[in-house]
Structure formats: structure tokens, C-alpha cells
Structure 1
Amino acid sequence: MSENVKIIAQNKKARFDYFVEEKYECGIVLEGTEVKSVKEGNVSFNDSFAEIQNGELWMRNFHISEYKYSSIFNHNPDRAKKLLVHKEELKRIQRKVDEKGFTLIPLDFYLKNGRVKLTLGVCKGKKQFDKRASIKERDVNRDLQREFRNSNL
């Protein structure tokens, strides 16, 4: 990502539970106090997913906490949020999701040039043995990095 990007949150569990086939950068439609709350990092998207409904992309189970400094107006933290993508990307995503086993999972949530963006992954669920293989690969890479660091000293 470029230098004008500030990562707000990453969904590490999604990368562990799913194989990420493709990634798409999406804009997200937010209300006024949601933007302020997002900039403070008050987001939670553990069980969130996206779905295509009536030709539009919607994010479900995506929680943005209420802005604590708002006195009069505050947003609904659990409302469905509309995602913004190009028509061609939406068609490509729709074709991929129609295949068996694919789902849309948010991976990263960040600010890019002052705008709130989301990386949406077209993912396929991992089986238990795949997760064990991921853990083993991560441990091997960690050991290699440790060896490399110690050899340079």
C-alpha cells in the first residue's frame, strides 16, 4: 500500500480461517459520527461478511461503536453498510461467489488519502488440516527468520 494509508484494523482470523483467492478495494458508505468513530479505531468485524443484494454490495455484522463525544446525534452501530465497487468488479465478484464454497470476507480496514476503505477478499474456507499446515508454515518461517537474525550478529 502507498504511504498515504493508515491501517485501522486487520482481520487476522480471516486469513487463518480462509484461503484468500482475490482482493478488492472497496469504499464504504458511512454516516457522520461513524467516520469519527472509525478514525479512533472503534471497529469490530470478527463475524462480518459481505453479500450482493439487488445488484449492490452490503456488509453485514460490521460493528462501528458509537462516537462518545457526540451529544445529540449518534449512529446505529450494527446497521448494514453499503460497499462501493465498480460495476465490472461487482460482476466478477458475483461470478466468483456463485461458485460453491466462496464467500466475501473483509480483510483490512484503512484510511487512504482521508477516505475510509476496505479490502474485501473472495475467500474459501479452510479445513482443519489446512489450518494445521498454516500453523506449521508460520512456525518454520519464524524459525528461519530467527536463524537469519542470529547469523547476522
Structure 2
Amino acid sequence: MGKCSIKEAYVRIENGQVYVCNMNITPYEKGNIFNKDPLRPKRLLLHKSEINKLAAQTAQQGYTVVPLQVYLNGSLIKMEIGLARGKKLYDKRQDIAKKDQRREAEKEFKVRNLY
């Protein structure tokens, strides 16, 4: 039915197998008690060389594999994944400062437009 969320999902590599975790797939509405848990880890099918390459890249500190997009290709459900690096502390501080400035500007604009 196309109801899937990858908002908080991440990819984990264990024992030469790749799993996507925290990906929410809404259970089929007309299903019965045999519906699966929507947050269970799902196995991804990749070639061994791709798995080894991802494992080597995620071994570096600060890197993780995240799902970028989920789409249908015929009868198959495919997922596009990417290698991501976490933000540095100074990057986070800059983003917080920008958000605060934008929030203040919006508040000021709102107050001016009321009168």
C-alpha cells in the first residue's frame, strides 16, 4: 500500500549479512493476527563484495550506512543506501544558531504584521 517510513532507519552489518533497522512498514490493514512486527529488522540482499566494501567503510569512526530511498521496481521493493558521516560539534552549533536566528526573525515579522 506504499506506507513505509525510513525516517529513523539505519543499516547494520552483522556476520556478513546486512539488515535495515527501525524502518517502519505499516501492517496490511486487511491482514489478520499473522501480520509481522512493523519495526522488525529486515534483511537486505547485496553481493558479498558490496557487503565487504560497506563493512570496511563503516569500520572508520563516524561513518554509518543509511537508507535514502525506497521504491518499487516491478514486483520487487528496492532500497537506495548511502554512506553518511555524522556532524562535528561545531557544525551542530552553527545549525542551532541559524535556527535561532530564523525563529527570531519569524517572530519579529509576525509581531510587525499584527499591527
Task: Count residues with an aligned counterpart.
Answer: 94
CA distance in 2, matches of 1:72, 1:94: 37
Give the match's secondary structure for 2:55. Answer: helix
Question: 1:78 & 1:84 partners in 2: Cα distance?
Answer: 18
Q: Which of the pair has the greater relative contact order for Cα pairs under 8 Å at 6+ separation?
A: 1
| Structure 2 letter corresponding to 1:116 | I
Query: Is 1:128 aligned to residue 75 of structure 2?
Result: no
Root mean square deviation, CA, Å: 2.0
- Higher Rg of the two aligned structures: 2
User: 1:64 is matched with which residue: 11, 20, 25?
Assistant: 25
2:34 to 61, 67, 73: 73
The match for 1:100 is: 61
Letter in 2 for 1:48: A
* TM-score after normalising by structure 2: 0.73
Q: What is the CA deviation profile of residues 27-75 of structure 1, one whole-angstrom value per residue up to 9, with x for unaligned ones?
A: xxxxxxxxxxxxx121112111011111100111111111001135311
Alpha-carbon offset, residue 114 of structure 1: 2.1
Q: TM-score of the superposition, structure 1-length normalised?
A: 0.56
- Give the secondary structure class of the aligned counterpart of 2:30: coil
SS at match of 1:107: strand
SS at match of 2:20: strand
Report whether the alignment pairs 1:46 with 2:7.
yes
- Structure 2's unaligned 5+ residue stretches are 97-115
| 4+ runs deviating over 2 angstroms | 126-132
**Counterpart check, 1:91 vs 2:55:** no
